Amino acid sequence: MLARRYPYQLGKILRSEINKNHIKFADKHLSEFPLDLVSGYYTLEKKGNVIEKLDVAIVEATAITERGNIIPGASIGAAPEIVQTASKVIIEVNTALPSFEGLHDITLSKFAPYKFPNLIQRVDDRVGTTYIPCDPDKVIAIIESKEPDHTLNSEPQDEKSQGIANHILDLFEHEVTMGRLPPQLLPLQSGVGNIANAIIGGLANGPFTDVEVWTEVIQDTFLDFWEHHKLSFASATSVGFSPAGFKRFYEMWNELKDRLVLRSQSVSNSPEVIRRLGVIAMNTPIEFDIYAHANSTHVCGTKMLNGLGGSADFLRNSKLSIIHTPSTRPTKKDPIGISCIVPMCSHVDHTEHDLDILVTEQGLADVRGLAPIERARLIIDKCAHPEYRPILNDYLNLAEKECMKIGAAHEPHLLDRVFKMHSNVLSENNTMRINSW
């Protein structure tokens, strides 16, 4: 039934249909999508003398106010702008969930030029309403659902994710010692997955107190962070707990309802607010290259994974930008796996100008202030798997030698060979461990 999808997606079936081009998928920064929607980029079409708009929106609620406004549930995203834009609205009231009334801070997007209603100066500032405004005349149906959210179990932490987390926690302690971060750190943004869980889990047992979070999604280990009284306040656009995590969340409701706020996606991912608060951003890419570019979306340059999400919103505008990934990912034919550090990314979502810290379980590369050739040697030395270190060093040395001959060695590359590792893994060899360049 789906013809198009914006701006992010999860799920094997959906991903498969997108990669077959059966579903047209347009990726977009999460911060920009709601603004573009309100501006009519996706929904306004002129047919003859008629301008057609978004016809029907279906939105989940945990309650409806007496005036007909919508109390969302565990996720807000772009729902306020979708309701704002749609001609008609169907409200699905989920009575399997408790009412989330009071947990939200909803603002609506405007046409450009954008005038932020009240500047957010602190993580716990509120500038909107506790509901999504909805004209009752728009509502054509209200239906009841008794289905709880079908969430996945939390990804277990493994040795690699724990190693990455330890490197990042050591970095935080060093930055505090050097006076570049305050003792309580700056507001944290953390992506999803086992590495993010390991980092937050480490902070729950770490030395930092009164920590604040400004992020997109709250995961299970944040509950430990709160229970250990290390997390003072969190702002997000959704909570994505496991079934067991939601059970704990509801049990802790009275304790957490004044220490958590869920906002519109256009605010949680606003570059303006991220920059103002000085957020520390942490996200997982598919791969990064020796010069500190990162690919978050396309496997081997062509196969869509999930989408950009809000990673670029945060990495480009944060005070400190960190990307973390295992140094390798195993395949059926290669137990060591394919390298997540490559000579050149097969697709670039984040440039060398956006990233400060690159981390794998092997080590941490702080590339702030380094020239490209310095970054490359540090990234290979600190982040690459030992099996791939000599392969990457051979490429860098050969590229530098050849580019020096023509006086073009600032960021040396061999364009005829730079994707040889990718090509080899796509062949029947199914490995990136090549013999020569």
Q: Which residues are catalytic?
A: 216
- H-helix or E-strand spanning residue 360: strand 357-360
If you search the block for the tokens 């953390």, which residue do you land on?
190
- In DSSP terms, 89 is beta-bridged to 57, 139
CA 397/CA 266 separation, integer angstroms: 45
Sign for the pseudo-dihedral over CA of 100, 104, 108, 112: negative
303: Cβ contacts below 8 Å, ≥ 6 apart: 19
CA 19/CA 325 separation, integer angstroms: 24
Sign for the pseudo-dihedral over CA of 293, 297, 301, 305: positive
If you search the block for the tokens 């937050």, which residue do you land on?
200
Q: State the angle between helix axes of 159-177 and 194-204 in degrees (0 to 180), rounded to the nearest 10.
A: 50
Token digits for 257?
């309802």
CA 325/CA 289 separation, integer angstroms: 12
CB contact at 8 A, 70 and 134: yes
Token digits for 390?
């000599």
Q: Provide the 8-state DSSP code for 114.
A: P
- The 3-state DSSP class for residue 401 equals helix
CB-count exposure of residue 304 (10 Å: 0-12, 13-18, 19+): middle
CA atoms within 13 A on the CB side of 132: 31
DSSP string, 29-75: -TTTHHHHHHTTTTT-EEETTEEE---EEEEEESEE-TTS-EE--SB
244 φ/ψ angles, rounded to the nearest 5 degrees? -70, -35
CA 307/CA 283 separation, integer angstroms: 13
CA 123/CA 91 separation, integer angstroms: 30
Token digits for 125?
């500032």
Give the torsion through C-alpha atoms of 52, 58, 64, 65, to 10 deg.
Answer: -20
